[in-house]
Structure 1
Amino acid sequence: MFDRLQAELSMLLTQMENQPEDRHELYLSLREKLGEMRAYGMPIPDDILELEQQLDSEFSETKI
């Protein structure tokens, strides 16, 4: 289970780099995978946690 989620997470991060126009959709997928990892008590690398916080901040801002 851990290996599968880790591979999916890696794939999402690669897609974020290669397809920045789909960034919000990929962000939602990233949150979903991290939620699964948390539900199973799996460790999440610090750099991924930092990325999640940055993206949370980016997508929670209201644009007028």
Structure 2
Amino acid sequence: MSDPVNLNKFRKAKAKVEKEQTAKENRAKFGRTKAEKQRDKARKDKLSRLAEGHRLKDAPEQEG
């Protein structure tokens, strides 16, 4: 006869593998690396500074 198999361990191992697979899929679908987040923040800051630099300091007064 063969050795008895602990079904509880088998079920837990299977659930762990499925959970890891789901996590991997979610990382690929939703995750961004730290470098990507920093790059996007730097771009946003640069565009903000550029727009702020082109803003008029005082609005011209209208005569009339």
Indicate the structure with greater helix content.
1
Where relative contact order (Cα < 8 A, 6+ residues apart) is larger, the structure is 1
